[in-house]
Amino acid sequence: MLCVTIGDDGSVTDIVDLGHATPPTHTSMNQSFQQQLPKHLTLHIGDGDMLIKRVTDTTQLELVLAPVELHRRNIQRRLREAQLPKDGLQCTDPTAVATQLLTVDGQSPATLDRIDRLSMIRSIRSDDEPSIASPTVPADPQEIEQIRTEVESVTGFHPERLAVLDTVADGLTPPFDADTADLVKAATTIERTLGQRTSKAVSEVELIRRATRQILTTDGEIFKQAYPDIDRVSLVGISSVAISYIDLLHALLATVGVPVDIHFRVGTGSYLVERVSKLFNVAEPGTVVF
């Protein structure tokens, strides 16, 4: 298990390797990427017991974000087996948190489902929108939706991340450079047009983005109202890093100031901890280009 603690002054106060193998370059790279992380952030690899230990050692209330229901059930089972109170950990998922925050803020948490999106994409496609008329862009709404989802998952449609993706596309060998640029542009156009045609969130990812923006807009007040007793937030059970989750945590770290822990799985954690610093390195998380 690797535990990294970032102090209030941004310094690394604790680096502990408790036995899981890491790449040979990991130790030498620690200092550089850790210094780029926000304050109050702790990263863990393969340390599933720490959540249970905190219930035993503290009276603080922890909000545990577990995107997969199986992980939430496993946490509850571990608490029962250890005969520990369940009220020390409040298990939920990022989408439910976003819904709660927007409700507190007086906004509708309604979201388009996949069938609605496909129907609307079909309508947009039939309108001969110039930016998605490129031969590179497929005609099938399901394929267009897949492209939209992929671009959303790696950029969140944040202007800085889209700019990086455009730079990557420009560096590809022709004709892949132009084709990739067309697909990214089409995904952005679809997302923008869907948003213009409905008051609902285009997707659950967009719902989390809306909540992220409101955390920043209210300087964390909506989180304090929705979760007044929370002393710590943890993201657990992840084998990949969703941009929307990182941006949500980024907003909390920037405004609320509660300690935040990210627990990576052993198989992918060593790789992901070295990517995390770059994912936090954007201004105004949750912002979109349109």
Rounded average pLDDT over 32-53: 76
pLDDT in tens, 70-87: 878 888 888 888 777 777
Tokens of residue 64, six digits: 């545990």
User: DSSP secondary structure string, 141-171?
Assistant: HHHHHHHHHHHHHHHTT-HHHHHHHHHHHHT
Residue 27: what pLDDT? 31
2-106+219-279 maps to which CATH number?
3.40.50
- CA 250 – CA 173 distance, rounded (Å): 35
**Worst-scoring range by mean pLDDT, 26-30, 221-225, 252-256?**
26-30
Q: Phi, psi at residue 163, to the nearest 5°?
A: -65, -40
Please choose, from the candidates 280, 264, 277, 215, the residue with its C-alpha nearest in 3D space to the C-alpha of residue 22: 264
pLDDT in tens, 144-194: 999 999 999 999 999 999 999 999 999 999 999 999 999 999 999 999 999
For the chain, give every domain's residue range.
Answer: 2-106+219-279, 114-199
Residue 2: what pLDDT? 37
Please choose, from the candidates 212, 288, 201, the residue with its C-alpha nearest in 3D space to the C-alpha of residue 254: 212
Dihedral angle computed from the Cα positions of residues 17, 274, 265 and 243, in that order, rounded to the nearest 10 degrees: 150
User: Helix (H, G, I), strand (E, B), or coil: what is residue 284?
Assistant: coil
Residue 53: what pLDDT? 78
- CA 161 – CA 158 distance, rounded (Å): 5
